[in-house]
């Protein structure tokens, strides 16, 4: 039994078996072999097995994310058929009399280096694809069937760190908990863990070479500890806590269908933050009054080309239809900063959080923006859509957005495509927007405060820097004063103001927000009912 401590990001408890995800290459040992032809045959069988896996992945992805996004697996299949690649492996086995795994790994490295050395960012990124197929082939050749992100049973995921696209790719039903060596409380993995009700520990000082897939573990997100190979006592204790948690959840379920109203009768809208179509179910299960933040960038992540207007339209339409009459606020593209996508070719920035991101990309590259706006406007007729623009710092930006929106509407009219005029609002997440919120309130229909970014910009603290977690005080009085100012300015012009950042779900502040006059709180689906409970206790 070994115990480690880490920083909990979601206070849940899980018991189960571990799947270790390693980013680094598998360690393959060079062995001299007597019969190279046997090794060649092993590679041939491995290729066949890998092709079958990729075909299955491709078919799964087509259903789940559509053909365009699934194409990456088709490309992987084609790479695995590549004559040069396979010949290099066979030649190495025969010439050096080495084992199959080693020849595959070395050949994979060589080809991957060729791509990494190219002076084209797109092709550089293909190095990862070659690595990916080589790792798969090594696994198939060595008979190690563990297929990275596609584990069969619900498991506790242990990794060095997880990228947003890795987290997106996983089947959420099969994740019991996350345990990572790195990562910060505000990283996307943490946010996703909170959204999906998954116990998660970050900053756990593990030696990943000593943790193996298949080990049993207990993750306790309340105590902030993870125990590998726990004894009977620890397991029983954990099971008891899980049962208690479930009873608590049961109680919360009883709040379903009740209003979000204080004892003195003030009503607050409680909406859900979602990151994809799959999350709409979570939102409804938890009785969300609407969607307060649909992070549209998830349509752009985990793929290698822009989503088309049609793909986006279908996604938006589906969410709107599923939510029926309920309000759905879709935030336009918020790529950049900690959310990087290769095909945007954004280039490396010294200071991405203060860099080329979100609305700045949309205004500089209006083609990308227009495609999204067209899809959004076409979707307006299928439900109650509001559009929200991120990272606003000036009134000129809002004017520019409206000019582009005007062009899009004109185009649609010419094409005789019907649409409704949606509510249009902005994220307030820069101190600049707070200071001019009086003027902005006259231009838009609503404000939604993105407290994560607003806090990082106001306190000058990088959200991704885990060293600064101790300095990051989300309850800083400067932030609370700003939220008051934003709310007052919205109300002055008859507009509404909400909070869609992490702070909205902070039950210690709920009373304060309600007293400030906040009209809406948009939170992870799992926080909707606890928040309702809290609101109903306020006098």
Which residue of the set 76, 140, 188, 362 is catalytic? 188
By the rule CB under 8 A, 282 interacts with another protein: no
By the rule CB under 8 A, 298 interacts with another protein: no
Length of the chain: 539
- Alpha carbons 506 and 500: distance in angstroms, whole number: 11
By CB under 8 A, the residues from 436 to 465 that bind another protein are none
Q: Which is nearer to another protein, 115 or 446 (CB)?
A: 115
Q: Which is nearer to another protein, 77 or 186 (CB)?
A: 77
Which residue of the set 76, 140, 362, 500 is catalytic? 500
By the rule CB under 8 A, 532 interacts with another protein: no
Residue among 51, 141, 63 at smallest CA distance from 104: 141
- Alpha carbons 504 and 518: distance in angstroms, whole number: 10
By the rule CB under 8 A, 120 interacts with another protein: yes
By the rule CB under 8 A, 113 interacts with another protein: no
- Torsion angles phi and psi, residue 386, rounded to 5: -120, 145
Out of 1, 2, 114, 249, point to the residue binding another protein (CB under 8 A): 114
- Alpha carbons 328 and 326: distance in angstroms, whole number: 6
Residue 96's alpha-carbon distances to 41, 86, 131, 339, 490, in angstroms, are 16, 15, 22, 44, 73
By the rule CB under 8 A, 367 interacts with another protein: no
Which two three-digit tokens encode residue 325?
């009459």
Examine the residue annotation and report whether 212 is marked as an active-site residue of this protein.
Answer: no
Instruction: List, in sequence order, every residue forming a beta bridge with 8; answer none if it has no partner.
Output: 201
By the rule CB under 8 A, 71 interacts with another protein: yes
By the rule CB under 8 A, 74 interacts with another protein: yes
Which two three-digit tokens encode residue 152?
């069969």
Q: Which is nearer to another protein, 253 or 365 (CB)?
A: 365
- Alpha carbons 304 and 343: distance in angstroms, whole number: 6
Out of 19, 92, 104, 126, point to the residue binding another protein (CB under 8 A): 126
Q: Which is nearer to another protein, 74 or 171 (CB)?
A: 74
- Among 17-25, 114-122, 134-142, 408-416, the segment contacting another protein (CB under 8 A): 114-122
Out of 1, 123, 435, 481, point to the residue binding another protein (CB under 8 A): 123
Q: Which is nearer to another protein, 171 or 304 (CB)?
A: 304
First to last CA, the chain: 48
Its sign, for the CA torsion 312, 315, 318, 322, is negative
**Do 528 and 270 meet the contact criterion of CB atoms below 8 Å apart?**
yes
By the rule CB under 8 A, 303 interacts with another protein: no
Q: How far is the CB of 123 from another protein (least distance, A)?
A: 5
By the rule CB under 8 A, 75 interacts with another protein: yes
Buried b (16+ CB within 10 A) or exposed e, 368-403: bbbbbbbbbbbbbebbbbbbbbbbbbeeebbebbee
**Do 221 and 12 meet the contact criterion of CB atoms below 8 Å apart?**
yes
Out of 37, 52, 81, 407, point to the residue binding another protein (CB under 8 A): 81
How many chain residues touch another protein (CB under 8 A)? 25
- Alpha carbons 402 and 366: distance in angstroms, whole number: 12
Q: Which is nearer to another protein, 114 or 403 (CB)?
A: 114
By the rule CB under 8 A, 109 interacts with another protein: no
Q: Which is nearer to another protein, 115 or 294 (CB)?
A: 115
- Among 113-121, 219-227, 429-437, 489-497, the segment contacting another protein (CB under 8 A): 113-121
By the rule CB under 8 A, 111 interacts with another protein: yes
**Do 368 and 351 meet the contact criterion of CB atoms below 8 Å apart?**
no
Its sign, for the CA torsion 380, 382, 383, 388, is negative
By the rule CB under 8 A, 119 interacts with another protein: yes
Q: Which is nearer to another protein, 75 or 459 (CB)?
A: 75
Q: Which is nearer to another protein, 18 or 103 (CB)?
A: 103
- Among 110-118, 263-271, 406-414, 516-524, the segment contacting another protein (CB under 8 A): 110-118
Residue among 71, 68, 43 at smallest CA distance from 57: 71
- Alpha carbons 194 and 530: distance in angstroms, whole number: 13
Out of 1, 2, 41, 78, point to the residue binding another protein (CB under 8 A): 78
By the rule CB under 8 A, 130 interacts with another protein: yes
By the rule CB under 8 A, 122 interacts with another protein: yes
- Alpha carbons 113 and 131: distance in angstroms, whole number: 9
**Beta pairing class for 225-228 and 216-220:** antiparallel
- Among 119-127, 210-218, 386-394, 465-473, the segment contacting another protein (CB under 8 A): 119-127
By the rule CB under 8 A, 79 interacts with another protein: yes
Q: How far is the CB of 116 from another protein (least distance, A)?
A: 12
Examine the residue annotation and report whether 188 is marked as an active-site residue of this protein.
Answer: yes
Q: Which is nearer to another protein, 75 or 363 (CB)?
A: 75
By the rule CB under 8 A, 129 interacts with another protein: yes
- Alpha carbons 484 and 390: distance in angstroms, whole number: 20
Out of 343, 396, 418, 473, point to the residue binding another protein (CB under 8 A): 343
Dihedral angle computed from the Cα positions of residues 197, 203, 209 and 210, in that order, rounded to the nearest 10 degrees? -80
By the rule CB under 8 A, 82 interacts with another protein: yes
- Alpha carbons 186 and 9: distance in angstroms, whole number: 9
Any residues with CB less than 8 A from the CB of 457 and at least 6 apart, and which?
Answer: 353, 429, 430, 431
- Alpha carbons 58 and 71: distance in angstroms, whole number: 7
Residue among 196, 379, 385, 424 at smallest CA distance from 291: 385
Catalogue the E-assigned strands of 229-268.
none
Q: How far is the CB of 368 from another protein (least distance, A)?
A: 12
Q: How far is the CB of 485 from another protein (least distance, A)?
A: 44
- Among 74-82, 164-172, 251-259, 486-494, the segment contacting another protein (CB under 8 A): 74-82
Give the binding site for another protein (CB under 8 A).
Answer: 71-72, 74-75, 78-79, 81-85, 111, 114-115, 118-120, 122-123, 126, 129-130, 304-305, 343
Catalytic residues: 188, 500
């Amino acid at each position: 039994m070994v115990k480690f401590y880490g920083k909990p990001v979601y206070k849940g408890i899980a018991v189960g078996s571990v799947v270790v995800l390693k980013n680094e290459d598998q360690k393959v040992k060079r062995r001299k072999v007597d019969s190279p032809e046997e090794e060649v045959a092993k590679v041939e069988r491995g290729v066949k097995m890998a092709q079958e896996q990729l075909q299955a992945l491709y078919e799964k992805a087509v259903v789940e994310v559509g053909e365009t996004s699934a194409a990456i697996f088709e490309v992987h299949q084609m790479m695995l058929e590549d004559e040069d690649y396979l010949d290099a492996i066979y030649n190495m086995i025969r010439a050096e009399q080495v084992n199959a795994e080693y020849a595959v790994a070395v050949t994979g490295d060589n080809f991957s280096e060729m791509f990494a050395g190219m002076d084209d960012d797109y092709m550089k990124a293909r190095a990862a694809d070659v690595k990916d197929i080589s790792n798969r082939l090594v696994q198939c050749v060595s008979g190690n069937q563990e297929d990275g992100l596609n584990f069969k049973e619900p498991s506790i995921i242990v990794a060095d760190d997880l990228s947003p696209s890795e987290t997106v790719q996983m089947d959420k039903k099969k994740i019991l908990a996350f345990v990572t060596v790195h990562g910060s409380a505000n990283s996307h993995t943490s946010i996703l863990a909170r959204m999906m009700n998954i116990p998660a520990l970050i900053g756990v000082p593990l030696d990943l070479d000593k943790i193996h897939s298949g080990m049993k573990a207990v993750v306790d997100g309340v105590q902030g500890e993870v125990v590998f190979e726990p004894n009977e006592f620890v397991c029983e204790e954990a099971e008891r806590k899980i049962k208690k948690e479930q009873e608590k959840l049961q109680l919360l379920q009883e709040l379903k269908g009740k209003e979000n109203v204080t004892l003195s009768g003030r009503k607050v809208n409680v909406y859900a933050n979602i990151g994809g179509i799959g999350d709409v179910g979570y939102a409804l299960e938890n009785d969300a009054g609407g969607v307060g933040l649909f992070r549209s960038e998830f349509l752009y992540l985990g793929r290698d080309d822009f989503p088309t207007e049609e793909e986006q339209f279908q996604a938006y339409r589906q969410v709107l239809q599923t939510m029926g009459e309920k309000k759905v606020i879709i935030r336009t593209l918020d790529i950049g900063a900690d959310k990087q996508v290769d095909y945007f070719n954004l280039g490396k920035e010294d200071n991405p959080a203060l860099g080329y991101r979100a609305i700045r990309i949309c205004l500089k590259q209006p083609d990308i923006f227009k495609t999204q706006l067209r899809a959004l406007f076409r979707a307006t007729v299928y439900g109650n859509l509001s559009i929200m623009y991120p990272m606003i710092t000036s009134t000129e930006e809002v004017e520019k957005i409206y000019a582009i929106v005007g062009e899009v509407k004109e185009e649609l009219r010419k094409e005789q495509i019907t649409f409704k005029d949606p509510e249009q609002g902005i994220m307030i997440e820069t101190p600049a927007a707070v200071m001019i919120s009086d003027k902005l309130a006259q231009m838009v229909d609503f404000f939604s405060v993105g407290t994560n970014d607003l806090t990082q910009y106001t306190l000058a603290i990088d959200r991704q820097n885990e060293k600064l977690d101790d300095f990051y005080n989300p309850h800083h009085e400067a932030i609370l004063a700003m939220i008051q100012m934003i709310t007052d300015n919205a109300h002055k012009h008859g507009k509404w103001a909400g909070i869609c950042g992490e702070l909205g779900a902070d039950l210690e502040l709920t009373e304060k927000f309600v007293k400030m006059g906040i009209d809406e709180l948009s939170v992870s689906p799992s926080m909707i009912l606890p928040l309702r409970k809290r609101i109903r206790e306020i006098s």
